[in-house]
Amino acid sequence: MSETRFFEQKDGSKIAYRIFESETIKNEIPLVLIMGLGGTKEIFMGYEEVIVFDNRGIGESTVVSQSDPITIELMAQDTTELIKHLGIKKLTYLEGHIALHIALNTPPDLKLEKLVVGCGFARYPNIEQADKFFQLPEMNHPKTVQEQKDWLLKSEKSFADYLLEHPDKFDKIAEYLVSTNDIRPFEISKRQWEAIKKSDLNSRLHMIKVPTLIIHGEAEELVPIKEAELLDREIPNTQFYRIPKVGHSIYVMAPESTIIVNEFLNKDIAVQA
């Protein structure tokens, strides 16, 4: 496994990142994986030949103060500054809302070749379950692997069913979550969610001209598949891959998604004018 490296920004925050190489996969254009809400870079299981990092204040990345602002614009800026630090000029992003924001605001000294949107949305889709969760004054994380497993079984039904059918993965995911609970501050995650709720990209989606792959689980409960259908309608140059019986955790539940992404990255697709 690649060692963690750190990029210190002008404001004093540090972005922790890893570069995973592969002996069998060689993407000509670097793939940058942007972590979603409250997660850490290690959750991207099965991907090779990628750059992964923790958003500010989460995982091994830091903020100068816990009261530092958390906005979509700032997290997008962190991403592009890291890419510039690595000396990369051409790249592909994989994620949801932050990747869409960067695609619409790519700096002139970077060239976005392609875009991959997994379980993404352009505007906050009124997720009642998440709203209730982030209205809690604090989060008492599970302390043991068994407590974490019990908590996971109360999550999205398709994911809970999958974990029960794959006990080895169930153990690994529970162990991962317990081991990272202390470096996933609830307050930072809550402020990420508030930032997402304020961001609306719907009216600008038609301006994304790069080839875009949309991946979404048909059993998704957190972000309904209608959000992906909207992206497919509004973004001009898309390929839409729907995964049956899969929910929000597509990279865990659908290992074939890595093959779909790599095929998309290495296919010659023209950019629309």
Among 50-54, 102-106, 110-114, 255-259, the range scoring the smallest mean pLDDT is: 255-259
pLDDT at 125: 83
Q: Residue 127 — very low, low, confident or very high, per pLDDT cuts 50/70/90? A: confident
Q: Residue 157 — very low, low, confident or very high, per pLDDT cuts 50/70/90? A: very high
Q: For tokens 């991959």, what's the residue? A: 116
pLDDT at 131: 78
Radius of gyration (C-alpha) of the chain in whole angstroms: 18
Q: How many CA atoms lie within 13 A of 72 on its CB side?
A: 23
Percent of the chain, pLDDT > 70? 95
E-state strands within the chain? 5-8, 14-20, 31-34, 50-53, 90-95, 111-118, 212-217, 238-243
Does pTM top 0.85 for this prediction?
Answer: yes
Rounded mean pLDDT, 97-125 = 94
Q: Which residues, 6 or more positions from 188, have their beta carbon under 8 angstroms from its beta carbon?
A: 38, 57, 58, 63, 66, 70
**Which two structure tokens, joined as six digits, stand for 63?**
């903020």
pLDDT at 57: 94
pLDDT at 87: 93
pLDDT tens-digit readout, 41-72: 988 766 778 899 999 999 999 998 878 889 99
Residue 7 pLDDT exceeds 90: yes
pLDDT tens-digit readout, 197-242: 999 999 999 999 999 999 999 999 889 999 999 999 999 999 999 9
Average of per-residue pLDDT values in the chain? 89
Strand partners, 19: 51
Q: For tokens 């809690």, what's the residue? A: 136
**Which two structure tokens, joined as six digits, stand for 36?**
């979603």
Cβ(82)–Cβ(15) below 8 Å: yes
Residue 117 pLDDT exceeds 90: yes
Q: Residue 73 — very low, low, confident or very high, per pLDDT cuts 50/70/90? A: very high
Strand partners, 18: 52
Residue 1 pLDDT exceeds 60: no
Cβ(15)–Cβ(7) below 8 Å: yes
Distance CA 250, CA 261 (A): 12
E-state strands within 184-249? 212-217, 238-243
pLDDT at 69: 84
Per CATH, which fold does 5-126+184-266 belong to? Rossmann fold (3.40.50)
Cβ(63)–Cβ(191) below 8 Å: no
CA 184 to chain centre: 15
**Order of all β-strands in the sheet with 14-20:** 5-8, 14-20, 50-53, 31-34, 90-95, 111-118, 212-217, 238-243
Rounded mean pLDDT, 82-101 = 92
Domain residue spans of the chain: 5-126+184-266, 142-182
Rounded mean pLDDT, 158-185 = 93
3-state secondary structure at position 222:
coil
Higher pLDDT, 65 or 9: 9
Q: Given the DSSP bridges, would you call strands 14-20 and 5-8 parallel, antiparallel or unpaired? A: antiparallel
